Amino acid sequence: MGAEESESKQSDSPLDKSRPPIPWVTLSTTLVATIMTFTTLFMHTWMYDSGTVEINTPELQGKEVEWSVNYGLWDSISHFGEEIEVTDYDCAPNEADCKGFKTAGITSIATIILGMITAGIATSMHLSSKSRAKGSRLPFRLSGISGLLIGITPIIWMTLLPGVFPPIEGMQIGMAFWIGIAGGILGIAGGAFGCFTFKGVAE
């Protein structure tokens, strides 16, 4: 009889209730979204264009050469035949288009970093037993906010580019753009899932 009472007291003890399980779904989506977005910082597939051009020099009369331009947040890479040129967005005062790319890149990088910091705070709170014991939805909300910041980054980048959409005729949206969108959706979904399924003390 005494043993049964002891087990009952242990199962109902505040210590057990103060250690809710780690929200693995939200934690996983937050981490995956952050990793996906981090990779886009160094990708040159935010926007691209490619084609062929005919060379009309005496040495290469009529020869067609393949070319491509790939834009990242920091710089662009141009391929012309076998030649490769990396162009940083370090612009002269009269280079309006270049300055537009630089502004779009810096703003997007700052937004991504802010989203990653928010995701880091949310992750630490998800893993902290003390934070979970408070019964707060704040970590889930932070996960959702980080997803929102990540998801709007490609939109901000596209909006700030010089010119009217599409910003450069013939340009196409690349893989990095869609990875950013997908990461944002994943982060928001994870945060929303956590908020709706969370059973704790409402704030």
pTM of the model: 0.77
Helix (H) or strand (E) holding 51: strand 47-55
Q: What is the pLDDT of residues 7-43, one digit of tens each?
A: 444 444 444 445 567 788 999 999 999 999 999 999 9
Give per-residue pLDDT as tens, 33-92: 999 999 999 999 998 888 887 666 666 566 777 888 888 998 888 888 777 778 777 765
83: helix, coil or strand?
strand
Q: Where are the alpha helices (DSSP H) in 70-202?
A: 96-127, 129-133, 138-160, 175-197
Q: Are 47 and 177 a contacting pair, CB within 8 Å? A: yes
